[in-house]
């Protein structure tokens, strides 16, 4: 075998080093570009009622655009979303109501994402499939305490409620309860996640929650018809099912370069179609 020696050996080694350095440089450049793309993070906070919808849409958008990530900051109410968007600490504020007049003056953009159905639901062991507003008032006031009075089995009713200042309770009062006093025996759930867990695990219970959450998470609960009207995306969009609440997002007028494309996708035909499949009615 011939050996390379002298000047030829030096030239060969020099070429090899140059090739390595060029390759390493390209690799470093590609890595830097990838890391730059991955740093497109959209920060979100606000209403825990609206966040599940935002997360559903964000997960699908991230699947389509892996370079865009989402960071969910601590929040609880719509006010946190308004404050975060106003101060610029987040890119998107999630709200489960429309903006108040004083909030509209803050230079924010409001987008209605969905008129989400608010549904009455029971534990799966209940046999009752449909209730009237009068019957629901009877249950929540304490006048009706046994499922047998509603065509169900002879079992006591466990009433699950929400705090008076929560959007869900405000909507239920508007469409069902009016000013009726709620029985002191009712258990108050401070978060919708608590309501979901209680409905899943407490036999003979009744409560109310998001229709979109029921569908998108495949919750094992019994969704009750109201006066024979079954809540569906179609019945919500047509107005046949009336008990709905607005779920929306707010942005500063100058949205970040990553945020606006995400918002545009949500309102595109494909985004709205995906949202409906997850149980959230289009606005």
| Percent of the chain whose pLDDT exceeds 90 | 75
User: What kind of architecture, by CATH, is found in domain 117-238?
Assistant: 3-Layer(aba) Sandwich (3.40)
**Beta-bridge partners for 131:** 226
What residue ranges in 55-189 does DSSP mark as E strands?
Answer: 68-72, 92-95, 108-122, 130-131, 158-162, 187-189
User: What Å distances lie between residue 224 and 5, 8, 131, 132, 230, CA to CA?
Assistant: 88, 86, 7, 10, 7
Residue 269 predicted with pLDDT over 90: yes
User: Model confidence at 104, in pLDDT bands (50, 70, 90)?
Assistant: confident
Q: Which residue has the higher pLDDT, 76 or 272?
A: 272
* First-last CA distance in the chain: 79
- The domain locations on the chain are 117-238
Q: Which helix (H) or strand (E) holds 89?
A: none
Q: What is residue 247's three-state secondary structure?
A: strand
- Mean pLDDT, to the nearest integer, of 220-241? 96
What's the CA angle centered on 138, arms 166 and 246, to 5 degrees? 30
- Mean pLDDT, to the nearest integer, of 156-161? 98
Instruction: Tell me which of 33-42, 67-76, 127-136, 257-266 is least confident.
Output: 33-42
Give yes or no for a contact between 129 and 223, defined as CB atoms under 8 angstroms apart.
no
- Determine the Cα–Cα distance for residues 137 and 129; give it in Å rounded to an integer: 16
pTM of the predicted structure, to 2 decimals: 0.82
């Amino acid at each position: 075998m011939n050996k390379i020696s002298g000047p030829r050996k030096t030239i060969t080694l020099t070429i090899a080093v140059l090739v390595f350095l060029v390759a390493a440089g390209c690799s470093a450049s590609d890595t830097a570009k990838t890391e730059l793309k991955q740093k497109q993070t959209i920060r979100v906070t606000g209403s825990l009622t609206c966040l599940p919808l935002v997360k559903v849409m964000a997960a699908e958008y991230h699947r389509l655009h892996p370079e865009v990530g989402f960071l969910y900051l601590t929040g609880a109410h719509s006010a946190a979303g308004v404050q975060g968007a106003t101060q610029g600490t987040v890119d998107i504020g999630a709200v489960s109501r429309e903006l108040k007049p004083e909030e509209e003056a803050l230079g924010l953009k409001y987008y209605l994402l969905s008129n989400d159905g608010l549904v009455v639901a029971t534990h799966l062991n209940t046999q009752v499939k449909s209730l009237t507003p009068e019957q629901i008032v009877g249950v929540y006031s304490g006048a009706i305490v046994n499922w047998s009075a509603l065509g169900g089995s002879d079992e006591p009713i466990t009433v699950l409620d929400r705090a008076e200042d929560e959007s869900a309770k405000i909507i239920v009062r508007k469409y069902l309860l009016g000013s009726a006093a709620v029985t002191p025996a009712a258990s108050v759930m401070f978060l919708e996640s608590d309501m979901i867990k209680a409905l899943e695990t407490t036999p003979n219970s009744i409560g109310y929650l998001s229709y979109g959450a029921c569908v998108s998470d495949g919750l094992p609960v019994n969704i009750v018809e109201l006066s024979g009207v079954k809540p569906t995306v179609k019945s919500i969009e047509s107005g046949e099912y009336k008990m709905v609440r607005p779920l929306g997002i707010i942005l500063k007028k100058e949205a970040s370069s990553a945020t606006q494309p995400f918002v545009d996708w949500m309102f595109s035909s494909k985004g709205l179609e995906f949202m409906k499949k997850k149980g959230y009615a289009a606005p």
